[in-house]
Chain A
Amino acid sequence: MSLQSRVKRMLFDEPDPKKIMRGIGFILLKTALTPAGKFDLRAAKRFSLILYNHARRFFKYPQKAVFTSLFAPVELVHAFGLCPFSLEMLAGIAASMDLAPELLAGTEKEWLSTDFCSFHRAYIEIARIGLLPAPVFVLATAHTCDGTYKSFSEVSSLMSRPLIFLDTPYHSDRVAVDYLTEQLKNAAEQIEKVTKTTLDREKLERAFFFSNRARSALLEINEIRQNERPLLFGEDSLPFLTIWGSLLGHREGAALFERYRDELKRRSEEGWSQIKGKKRVLWLHLKPFFPNRLLRYIEQELGAVIVAEEINSVYWDELDIRSPWESLALKIMRNYWVGGIEKRLDNIRRTIESHHIDGVIHFSHWGCRQSNGGVRLIRDTVTEYGIPFLNLDGDCVDERSYSEAQYLTRLEGFMELLER
């Protein structure tokens, strides 16, 4: 039996969060001992260390653990000295460890429809079988998708922990902003009650400070990537969302993005040109998290490079401690998934122009109506620029229907269009 199979059996036969914590500790040590030169960027090593350390903290101190949804205001969680972890990312990590097929099969036995998003199904099952420590509470927002409330509510009930839910309005006028602002204020009060602590204004200010620093560094990274010579593979920058999904508002998140920024700046100044891909691609939505060679094939064999990812867009303004709740509300409401699709299309237009994009790929995750439903309008927008658009239907978590050869053939066809 391979090591991977043994790990899987250990996790599924006798689920125990402590075992996972020890496993993460082992990976952390192994990463720490790996020379930085083995990573594409020195910052990439730092990235792995921070991510594993954060995950270990989450398992080691369940009394501080909070499950959050992808665009939840994690700054608020950090202000209470708690440890947020995005459940969507957890599902992605489970997929990368090849655990998803068994997790998803588990939900099917529990009558959960196979058409429901596999991210949600995977983490519901992780919670159901006891692979996670019970958190202090669960925090979710409405705008990512319909499934977020449904699945977070299920996790909250499975783990008997309170759900704090922010109902993001569709519109962004004054009354809508007030509606969300009030909810954020109430959320802070709910957290105070659950944790039996009082929110320290200075800690909130620190969380805002680090969030703004991370935002500023990410903005600079995106700007540097507009450079004619590609300085970073998309395969390395797509995982950034694991950081801003959990570590915005924390010192480590800010420091990591700054490290990336500094290293990319240095590369730019030194005229670094190791990436051979010439055709510049914008990647929309997420990527498959299970082991696959899709991105590597695009970037290392086909001669294209992903120079921008929608998921790494900085769509919000700086947080302002003078009006903290409204500021957090506006951050949520400026997300390109809130409201109509125009915001998302405008963001795509801006990126195509700023990053000199030659072609656009949208990965249509099967269970995501929010994103897939807009593909026609995205295609219309991309073709305004006379550049090719490729929609790849697939699943980010469920590898059971993944057929690599078919994807690679479609990518080859797309590449031909790019080169015309």
Chain B
Amino acid sequence: MYNFADDDIPDEKKVGFLCPYTVEELIDAAGFIPYRIIPESPDLDLVDAYLPNNICSYLRHLVDLAAKDGLRGYAGLVINNSCDAARRTYDVLKSHMGGLEIFFQDIPKKCDAPAVHYFSHILGGFVNFLEGISGVPLQKDAVRESIGRYNKNRALLSKLFSLRAQYPRLLRSEPILELLDANVRRPKSEMNIFFERFIGEVRETMEESGTAARKRVFVSGNLINPHTFFSIIEEAGGVIVGDDLCFGGRYFTHQTGENGEPLENLAQSYLTKTPCGRMVNSSDRYDAVMDALKRFHAHGLVYTSLKFCDNFLVDYPSLKKRLDMEGIPSLFLESEYYPMGKGQILTRIEGFLERIS
């Protein structure tokens, strides 16, 4: 376990965000810390007054946190046009949580040249927002430097994931997830130094340790709380060899051009990365999953989705067809952010692991 307590980050330096399509480079370049909102308790006390219960629990956690004043003091918050529910969440926060500076970042669903142009324009608006809350103009060079830091960070994460696939018993999920959580809450410059050292140490250790065969599971899905799910899979006797969750394997699939116009480069790289379920090319994600399953020698796939997340719930039948054609077993688990009924999930995963033996 690593000590990544974030007490040293003052709230006024934090710009909260929810979705991996948030262009963190701009927040970083403006001198703030992009700080991912991660629900830290399963309790939901106040949200029912603002959002119905058929909105995904991740967004309900956000509103609950805001209603409890949990975001007070943040320099800002970014909400993306990730889905219908995110739009309504923005509306509710804007109306009822005064004092919070919120930027709504539209994202085209397409990824062609006109969409990139439109998204660059949106990012221009984001720059204005950041300049407004910092009171300082954002320099292109600062953005380019930030792009470099983020490119390096993604490359390091990619190496880390490859190592996990190689040595899943030794690189257990919990410490990896802790690193991933820290990575979206701490300065990338600091995390890059840590990852370089960590990967070097792991390589030395791993060469001596080797690994035994276990049931190798790949997890596909969205913003579900991976800590609980991954630990249940490991408890049932599986090992996690990879994932394509929003802040897991799909977080680092792109590199941004470091020359030329930074906003256009960022727009281009974010729109053309391995897509989320909301994008028109969302089925490209299946190709990435099929490729990862082969590369990581996975025996089966667990598909997890937050309840009420239309963009991901609808994808499972199509992905399942692909998996069935290749003879890869899969399990579909729909859940709240904090899964209820751990025993039931464990039983289903145990049954699934028996099937893939």
Contacts and interface: CB of A to CB of B under 8 A. Distances in A.
Interface of A: 110-113, 115-117, 142, 145-147, 149-151, 153-154, 157, 165, 167, 169-171, 175-176, 179, 182-183, 340-342, 364, 366-370, 372-377, 380, 393
B56 to A, nearest CB: 8
Given A112-B314, A372-B55, 18 more contacts: A113-B305, A113-B316, A115-B54, A115-B307, A145-B84, A146-B310, A151-B314, A167-B109, A167-B280, A170-B87, A170-B106, A171-B122, A341-B91, A368-B84, A369-B55, A369-B88, A373-B55, A374-B91
Contacts of B348: none
A188 to B, nearest CB: 15
Contacts of A183: 114
B118 A364 contact: no
A340 B87 contact: yes
A253 to B, nearest CB: 28
23 contacts: A110-B317, A112-B313, A113-B334, A146-B278, A165-B109, A167-B108, A170-B106, A171-B122, A175-B117, A175-B118, A179-B108, A179-B114, A179-B115, A341-B88, A341-B91, A364-B52, A369-B308, A373-B51, A373-B89, A373-B92, A376-B49, A376-B50, A380-B95
B310 A150 contact: yes
A99 B310 CA distance: 23
Contacts of B104: 170, 340
Contacts of B103: none
A340 B90 contact: yes
Ranked nearest first, the 7 interchain pairs of A and B with the lowest CB-CB distance are A373-B88, A170-B106, A113-B313, A370-B84, A369-B84, A341-B91, A179-B118
B316 A111 contact: yes
Given A170-B81, A376-B49, A154 B87 contact: no
B133 to A, nearest CB: 20
A173 to B, nearest CB: 8
B80 to A, nearest CB: 10
B279 to A, nearest CB: 9
Given A115-B54, A146-B311, A341-B91, A369 B85 contact: yes
Given A111-B316, A111-B332, A373-B51, A116 B88 contact: no
Interface in B80-126: 81, 83-85, 87-92, 94-95, 104, 106, 108-110, 114-115, 117-118, 121-122
Given A169-B118, A179-B114, A340 B91 contact: yes
Q: Which of A116, A176, A376 has the most CB of B within 10 A?
A: A376
B311 A150 contact: yes
B154 interface: no
B297 interface: no
Given A115-B313, A175-B121, A374-B88, A146 B83 contact: yes
Contacts of B278: 146
A215 to B, nearest CB: 27
Given A116-B310, A150-B311, A167 B115 contact: yes
B13 interface: no
Contacts of B310: 115-117, 145-147, 150, 367, 369
Interface string B16-49: 0000000000000000000000000000000001
A372 B50 CA distance: 11
Nearest to B115: A167
Contacts of A113: 305, 313-314, 316, 334
Contacts of B72: none
A115 B278 CA distance: 17
Interface in B261-284: 277-278, 280
Interface in B301-357: 305, 307-308, 310-311, 313-318, 320, 332, 334
Interface of B: 49-52, 54-55, 81, 83-85, 87-92, 94-95, 104, 106, 108-110, 114-115, 117-118, 121-122, 277-278, 280, 305, 307-308, 310-311, 313-318, 320, 332, 334
A153 B320 CA distance: 17
Q: Which of A167, A170, A373 has the most CB of B within 10 A?
A: A373
Given A369-B85, A376-B51, A380-B95, A112 B106 contact: no
Given A179-B108, A372-B55, A376-B50, A154 B314 contact: yes
Contacts of B318: 154, 157
Q: Which of A153, A366, A369, A376 has the most CB of B within 10 A?
A: A369
Nearest to B124: A175
A116 B108 CA distance: 22
Given A149-B109, A169-B106, A375 B52 contact: yes
A151 B314 CA distance: 8
Q: Which of B51, B88, B104, B320 has the most CB of A within 10 A?
A: B88
B297 to A, nearest CB: 26
A369 B83 contact: yes
A372 B81 CA distance: 17
B85 to A, nearest CB: 4
A150 B55 contact: no
A169 B108 contact: yes
Nearest to B108: A167
Contacts of B95: 377, 380
A341 B95 CA distance: 10
Contacts of B334: 113, 115
Contacts of B307: 115
B138 to A, nearest CB: 19
Nearest to A170: B106
Contacts of B92: 373, 376-377
Contact of A149 (B52, B122, B280, B313): B280
A207 B51 CA distance: 41
Contact of A373 (B85, B121, B277, B316): B85
A61 B332 CA distance: 40
